[in-house]
């Protein structure tokens, strides 16, 4: 989806573009399907919420943009929730503040979610051992399946 069409489709769905997501309303602009996914609910009901969900610069618009882009990358609701809980998502938000324009945010999201499908595939594999050696092993094991990404 082109940058302008993503923004245009999000703007159509959200009337109040400057609404900040408050901690007590963690769902923000995410769809019910993503929000109610097992991965998301297990995470947001845990004691510490970080990743993308714990960032104070979330808005309803930003939530919608990132969900659209994660799904465009090939992730379903569980996979998108998995990535949103990750340090990759948290690091992406390190370059975002309240003054970041939606167009710039969309560019940041697109450049960061390019690898989201590969990362979630590796993290979700039953043989993944949650360390760098295991990550390299998974890349080698899955290289043919992940070649197009």
Q: What number is the average pLDDT over the span 120-135?
A: 82
Q: What number is the average pLDDT over the span 124-128?
A: 81
Instruction: Note the pLDDT of residue 82.
Output: 92
Q: What number is the average pLDDT over the span 121-146?
A: 80
Q: What number is the average pLDDT over the span 93-114?
A: 92
DSSP, collapsed to helix, strand or coil, labels residue 31 as: coil
Sign of CA dihedral 81, 66, 63, 57: positive
Domain ranges of the chain: 29-113
Q: What number is the average pLDDT over the span 45-58?
A: 83
* Cα angle for residues 115, 119, 122 (degrees, 5° grid): 145
Q: How confident is the model at residue 99 (pLDDT cuts 50, 70, 90)?
A: very high
Spatial CA neighbour of 138 closest among 123, 6, 112: 123
DSSP, collapsed to helix, strand or coil, labels residue 61 as: helix
């Amino acid at each position: 989806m082109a940058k302008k069409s993503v923004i245009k489709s999000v703007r159509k769905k959200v009337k109040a573009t400057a609404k900040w997501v408050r901690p007590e309303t963690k769902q923000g602009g995410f769809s019910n399907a993503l929000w109610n996914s097992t991965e998301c609910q297990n995470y947001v009901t845990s004691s510490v919420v970080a990743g993308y969900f714990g960032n104070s610069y979330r808005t309803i618009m930003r939530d919608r943009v990132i969900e659209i882009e994660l799904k465009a990358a090939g992730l379903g609701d569980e996979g998108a929730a998995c990535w949103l809980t990750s340090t990759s998502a948290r690091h992406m938000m390190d370059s975002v503040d309240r003054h970041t324009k939606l167009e710039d945010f969309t560019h940041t999201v697109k450049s960061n979610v390019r690898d989201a499908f590969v990362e979630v595939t590796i993290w979700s594999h039953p043989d993944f051992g949650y360390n760098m050696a295991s990550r390299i092993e998974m890349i080698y094991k899955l290289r043919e399946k992940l070649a197009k990404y």
